[in-house]
Amino acid sequence: MDAPGNTDAAVLVPLYLDGDALHAVFTKRRDDLRRHAGEISFPGGRQDFPDEDLRITALREAEEEIGLSRDDVELIGALPPTGTFVTGYRIHPFVGAIRAGHEWKLQPNEVEVVLELSLPDLMRGFEMRRLVGKGVPIKTPTYCVDDNLVWGATARIVQHLLERLEPVL
């Protein structure tokens, strides 16, 4: 599987069950960052070195950004790579099962807040929209829960996740 982009990156899609609903863990990035400022994303980032296993990248970044120990994550699958059109990343999403009730330790230089959004709420908040990111108009799936707007590459990852989980949701 391939996707547009010339820089490989990986994200962790942490999922946990609370009551009857699956929840996904997202981060809202700080507004003053150079790239993807203020956006909602999954914890992740670029490889530390070119041959680093992307699963390790995703786990390391989640530990650095939100304090989720790799020992607390059971990797259960991967989703198709997703490209970012403006910044040129090829994001490899890995899905991990975690327990509910984590106390997050945010990396203050990067993460403003951790969001725990239920998949049913995300599905109810779905809408295709035309947005402008860095001056480039894009048509993208969006997911809005309360005042939290998930769009762009993260929304495309959510869309792939929901398509895979549809039979059990």
Indicate whether 97 belongs to any domain: yes
pLDDT attached to residue 41: 94
**What are the residue ranges of helices labelled H in 3-140?**
54-66, 119-124
* CA-to-CA dists, residue 25 to 4, 5, 48, 62, 92, angstroms: 25, 24, 23, 10, 16
Domain count, the chain: 1
**What tens digit of pLDDT does each residue of 114-132 get?**
999 999 999 999 999 988 7
Written as tens digits, the pLDDT of the chain (169 aa) is: 555 556 889 999 999 999 899 999 999 988 676 666 678 999 999 888 888 999 999 999 999 999 999 999 999 999 999 987 767 788 999 999 999 999 999 998 989 999 999 999 999 999 999 887 667 787 889 999 999 999 989 999 999 999 999 877 7
Indicate whether 125 belongs to any domain: no
Cβ atoms 28, 148 nearer than 8 A: yes
Indicate whether 129 belongs to any domain: no
Indicate whether 103 belongs to any domain: yes
The CATH number assigned to the domain holding 27 equals 3.90.79.10
* CA-to-CA dists, residue 45 to 21, 65, 109, 113, 169, angstroms: 27, 10, 14, 17, 29
**Distance between CA atoms of residues 122 and 117, nearest Å:** 7
pLDDT attached to residue 7: 80
Using the 8-state DSSP alphabet, how is residue 114 labeled? E
CA 42 to chain centroid, in Å, comes to 2
Indicate whether 142 belongs to any domain: no
pTM: 0.91
